[in-house]
Homo-oligomer: A and B are copies of this chain.
Amino acid sequence: MIMSRTEAASEQARGDLTERLLAGLPTEAVLTDPDVTGSYANDMASFCPAGAPAVVVLPRTVEEVQHVMRTATELRVPVVPQGARTGLSGGANASDGCIVLSLTRMDRILEINPVDRIAVVEPGVINAALSRAVGEHGLYYPPDPSSWEMCTIGGNIGTASGGLCCVKYGVTAEYVLGLDVVLADGRLMTTGRRTAKGVAGYDMTRLFVGSEGSLGIVVRAVLALKPQPPRQLVLAAEFASAAAACDAVCRIMEGGHVPSLLELMDRTTVKAVNDMAHMGLPETTEALLMAAFDTPDPAPDLAAVGALCEAAGATQVVPADDVAESELLLQARRLSLTALEAVRGVTMIDDVCVPRSRLGDLIEGVERIADKHQLTIGVVAHAGDGNTHPTVCFDATDPDESRRARESFDEIMALGLELGGTITGEHGVGVLKKEWLAREIGPVGIEMQRGIKQVFDPLGLLNPGKLF
């Protein structure tokens, strides 16, 4: 093989980089085989460009991460931090010649304290592993993204992940009390606290949550926990129109109820789930709403919510008889995105959040957009939060269908902004929504955000090309 001068130079640089990295990392923590490193190029987003990493590193200690960042700064090599790569916006996609910094091997739960109701964890801990571990102490770590069996706490922090429980318990951001962060130049900074409250200086912890690896590398997190609530009981309600289901959502929230979950699946989604998993959901429905309560006595709330659903035009209201039946319904909900993927082979999952009073307008608008582009768009929604995932199903081998998919995806974001919403409720900006971030927050906002980026990462090495 004959290399050009540029290729030879780049090969040489890569060799230097690897050698420098190996000075502070064990051999098995530095991967350079292109077949292997190539498998770290992408997260789970569709249609987001990704480059070829120069090297993948898998540190196990804070000191090793510091060594990686020092090396990156000295050699001016970009660094892309990664968790489990379950993200849906390309935020963890590699850039050409970068160091992929995978935090998956830093997966220790360092402390669980039931009096202080905190856990201290490394970033590579799997969300479900933490949930189970704290559960053994009677505690509860609420944030539950659909990928919770795979995704890492570090990734959750990077994207400020949400999930099904947010309507009652809020998002990841509300559970991060303090962080240890390795800065771009390798220095270690501690933010926040171990205490329930604290207002010493600017809230740097929250600045890092949702910053998509662009400000520093989270190497340790102090997380707030709640006492484990009783298992939730779910009620399902069928509606003859999505509008009626959205009306029910408004009535429930206006009525002062605090469901632990309030989810909506449209007809397309229900059918997709049945097709894939034969779950026997009612296919005659135009919209299926699920509400749950995890209070000691959920009966009064469930009865009241059932009545509100009927008042909004529900054709059938079915309270789950027990926790097992409730779990089955939730299982159906959790399978939605996978099931929609099977419809045409590929999906683009949008993540538009609107004020919940505008939920009906959003869903109606999505139907209009689907009609216009002759596409199947299934809508699943964390309805109680107004956070919808209109999911565009398409055949990626058909260029025209792909183009229409992309257009409809963008039109849904435009609609979300029009309705007073945001382009992303919980998935983040990544590369997928970069242009849209500027539209949402405007030039002054972008200028200030870039200013902050500059403070933490003056050389622009951390996850370049994301967010802005």
Which residues in A have some Cβ–Cβ distance to B below 8 Å? 113-118, 138, 159-160, 162, 166-167, 170-171, 173-174, 183, 187-191, 193-204, 206-207, 209-211, 215, 226-228, 250, 253-254, 256-258, 296-297, 300, 353-357, 382, 384-387, 420-429, 433, 437, 440-442, 444-445, 448-449, 451-452, 454-456, 467
Contact = CB atoms under 8 A, between A and B. Distances in A.
Contacts of A455: 448, 451-452, 454-455
Given A115-B254, A442-B190, A200 B424 contact: yes
Contacts of A196: 166-167, 353, 356, 384-387, 425
Contact of A115 (B227, B253, B429, B433): B253
A228 B201 contact: no
A183 B113 CA distance: 41
B183 A444 contact: yes
22 contacts: A115-B355, A117-B253, A171-B197, A171-B199, A183-B448, A187-B444, A189-B445, A195-B422, A196-B356, A196-B384, A196-B386, A199-B429, A200-B429, A201-B441, A201-B445, A202-B207, A204-B445, A204-B448, A207-B207, A227-B257, A227-B258, A451-B455
A297 B300 CA distance: 12
Of A385, A421, A427, A448, chain B has the most CB atoms within 10 Å of the CB of A448
A174 B174 contact: yes
Contacts of A138: 256
B250 A200 contact: no
Given A196-B386, A202-B452, A452-B455, 20 more contacts: A116-B355, A116-B357, A116-B386, A170-B174, A183-B444, A193-B353, A193-B422, A194-B420, A195-B386, A195-B422, A197-B385, A198-B425, A200-B429, A201-B210, A201-B441, A201-B445, A202-B210, A202-B215, A206-B207, A454-B455
A227 to B, nearest CB: 3
Contacts of A166: 196-197
A358 to B, nearest CB: 9
B422 A198 contact: yes
Contact of A113 (B195, B257, B357, B448): B357
Contact of A189 (B437, B448, B452, B454): B448
Residue among A210, A258, A428, A454 with most chain B CB within 10 A: A210
A424 B198 contact: yes
A455 B162 CA distance: 30
A422 B386 CA distance: 36
A352 to B, nearest CB: 9
A448 B456 contact: yes
A441 B200 contact: yes
Nearest to A358: B116
A429 B198 CA distance: 11
Contacts of A193: 353, 421-422
A444 B188 contact: yes
Count chain B CB atoms within 10 A of each CB in A226, A250, A441 and give the residue with the most.
Answer: A441
A424 B199 contact: yes
A386 B195 CA distance: 7
Nearest to A453: B202
A37 B210 CA distance: 43
Nearest to A195: B353
A420 to B, nearest CB: 5
A445 to B, nearest CB: 6
B200 A437 contact: yes
A203 B207 contact: yes
A444 B456 CA distance: 11
Given A201-B467, A449-B201, A452-B452, A421 B195 contact: yes
A387 B197 contact: yes
Contacts of A160: 199, 203
B114 A449 contact: no
5 interchain residue pairs of minimum CB distance: A227-B256, A451-B455, A206-B206, A196-B385, A198-B422
A113 B250 CA distance: 11
Contacts of A425: 195-199
Contacts of A454: 455
A191 to B, nearest CB: 7
Nearest to A224: B170
A199 B426 contact: yes
Given A195-B354, A199-B427, A211-B202, A250 B115 contact: yes
